Amino acid sequence: MSKMKKLIAGNWKMNGSLAANEALLRELSQGLAIAPVCEVLVCVPAPYLAQISALKAGCAALSALELGAQDVSAQASGAYTGEVSAAMLKDMGCRYVIVGHSERRQYHFETDALVADKAKVALATGITPIVCVGETLAEREAGRTEEVVKRQLAAVIHANGHCISEIVVAYEPVWAIGTGKTASPEEAQAVHAVLRAQLKAATDKAERIRILYGGSMNAANAESLLTQPDIDGGLIGGASLKAPDFLKIIAAVQV
Ligand code: 13P
């Protein structure tokens, strides 16, 4: 059983507006006035990082809310039009950045090697990368789940050496993202145990690496997932955009 503080992370994806973000944070602040037992994070679209930083600074109940981004450039700076560097994210107050989300692997053709480089640049800048791994439906049906997630994680372990103990891993089966289909707690736990074993082979600090589950996690299924021994939190898409749902997931976390 792993002992670190659990992490409940919202991934807003490409959603939000100045007005909607402010309303969402106001609702969240009411629910977070009494500090939760877990760490809470929102990964917001890059243009809104400054807004969320400012809202956090102006509201004591949001002071413990962590801020994160959804992607980072593998390059440090320079002629990379449209990219956002890790140093810029750090400037904006980001503690975390998601790397290798399946939507970026799928729509932006991000390779395992690029994802590993992004994790490396984040770590070098003092930002914790949340490394996403997960199999597609076709890969699951072909019995390749373990092979795929291990390959994806191996690239990050290979590129980051002993720093690997500083990452967060998110297991997000692609077939469960935004589909309403969730991996059962037992299915998710089985993959998390595989990932934990792989981390243990790479570092003696594997017990403190948080492995999040993501994919249609919601207020109704959160508790059964979050009580699995190797599930150390959640990476939540749709349900993180509705304050009552996100707060219910946070409330489902037990110490
Ligand atoms: P949903 O919670 O909307 O399925 O999204 C999961 C996800 O991709 C989080 O990164």
User: In whole angstroms, how far apart are CA 98 and each of 27, 69, 163, 219?
Assistant: 24, 6, 17, 22
In a domain, 33, yes or no: no
In a domain, 164, yes or no: yes
Q: What is the dihedral of CA 105, 174, 103, 45, to 10 degrees?
A: -130
Return the higher-pLDDT residue of 36 and 100.
100
What pLDDT, on the 0 to 100 scale, is given for residue 72?
98
Strand 7-11 versus strand 96-99 pairing type: unpaired
- pLDDT greater than 60 at residue 78: yes
**Cβ atoms 64, 40 nearer than 8 A:** yes
- pLDDT greater than 90 at residue 254: no
In a domain, 119, yes or no: yes
What pLDDT, on the 0 to 100 scale, is given for residue 121?
98
Question: What percentage of the chain exceeds 70 in pLDDT?
Answer: 99
In a domain, 173, yes or no: yes
Count: domains in the chain = 1
- As a whole number, mean pLDDT of residues 207-231 equals 97
In a domain, 64, yes or no: no
**Cβ atoms 156, 202 nearer than 8 A:** no
- As a whole number, mean pLDDT of residues 86-104 equals 98
For a pocket test of ligand 1, which of 13, 99, 212 has the largest count of ligand atoms closer than 8 A to its C-beta? 13
In a domain, 144, yes or no: yes
Query: Tens digits of per-residue pLDDT, 168-192?
Result: 999 999 999 999 988 999 999 999 9
Ligand 1 centre to CA of 13 (Å) is 8
Tell me whether residue 101 is one of the annotated catalytic residues.
yes
Q: Is the CB of 153 under 6 A from ligand 1?
A: no
**Closest ligand 1 atom, residue 216 Cα:** 4
What is the residue range of 203's domain? 95-242
Q: Is the CB of 217 under 6 A from ligand 1?
A: yes
Q: Is the CB of 178 under 6 A from ligand 1?
A: yes
What pLDDT, on the 0 to 100 scale, is given for residue 1?
45
What pLDDT, on the 0 to 100 scale, is given for residue 3?
65
**CATH code where residue 154 lies:** 3.20.20.70
What pLDDT, on the 0 to 100 scale, is given for residue 228?
97
φ, ψ of residue 210 to 5 degrees: the values are -80, 135
- pLDDT greater than 50 at residue 101: yes
What pLDDT, on the 0 to 100 scale, is given for residue 2?
47
Closest by CA to 89, choosing from 136, 134, 121, is 121
In a domain, 38, yes or no: no
Q: Is the CB of 236 under 6 A from ligand 1?
A: yes
Ligand 1 centre to CA of 152 (Å) is 18
- pLDDT greater than 70 at residue 11: yes
In a domain, 40, yes or no: no
- pLDDT greater than 80 at residue 203: yes
Query: Tens digits of per-residue pLDDT, 109-151?
Result: 999 999 999 999 999 999 999 999 999 999 999 999 999 999 9
0.95 cut: is pTM over it?
Answer: yes
